[in-house]
Amino acid sequence: MLKKIISSGQPGAEQAALDVAMELGFNHGGWVPEGRRSEAGLVPEKYQLQEMPTESSAGWQEQNVLHSDGTLIICREKLTGGSALTREMAEKNNRPLLHIDLNAMDPFAAAKAISYWLEHHKIEILNVAGSRPSKDANIYDAAKSLLRTALRLSIIDMDMPEPSRETPLIPCTVEEAVEDLSSKLPLKAKTNLARMEEADLLSLQSSLGRYIRMKYGLWSTNKALMESCRITSGQEDLSRDEAAALIIRELWKNLRASHTLRVVK
């Protein structure tokens, strides 16, 4: 389970990663060049980073690779410069590495790839590297949006139990399903779900949606819940996937009212 995000705090993808860590309640850190130097001046003091006794990029990049369980590189091009060096350091030290080329993947596919990779490699400390604004003026916003979605997916994925391992509970209404889901999710997951935009809820269909379809019998015999979903939606012809999406949206509405102002440490 992810616990911490580190980087060297350079402008662009690396500062985006640290900002998302603070926003979502993860610890953060990393190693930065001597004097906290960056291409934009000094790395802001709000980032809790340790200075290396050198300005050599090889020094602080390798420290971040060595003190993490895996390295994620976010860019829009072939790896060059510092990103290529980071890849070399990860390969040299036999550490898990994921390169996301934003030109080659749509944002949702990229977020799912990151979420799967984090779970597959059991990443607890994630090192993030990538492009800087001097090469890609929009990299900060793109990386921040991508990481926010990927990490929220990971939080919710990791916190939902396997439906087959639980005592069966078959809610008959949307309200009962929402109440049960809210009781299962810990505070951190509920807070992060509440902070999602409504348009991003579709990204939860393969994780939380799957849980709902399996746990509540939407694929089999729960006609009462399906009827409740139809009544709530105002649609007579409602698919199982659409019913699960409706329950997620109703859960989100409830959490928006109760959890958006909470700060998770």
Reported as a single tens digit per residue, the pLDDT across 122-149 is 999 999 999 999 889 999 999 999 998 8
DSSP notation for 236-263: SS--HHHHHHHHHHHHHHHHHHHHTT--
How many angstroms separate the Cα of 97 from the Cα of each of 83, 157, 250?
A: 12, 21, 37
In the chain, what are the domain boundaries?
4-157, 161-259
- Kindly report the pTM of this predicted structure: 0.71
Confidence of residue 191 (pLDDT cuts 50, 70, 90): confident
Q: Which CATH architecture has domain 4-157?
A: 3-Layer(aba) Sandwich (3.40)
234: DSSP letter: T
Confidence of residue 260 (pLDDT cuts 50, 70, 90): low
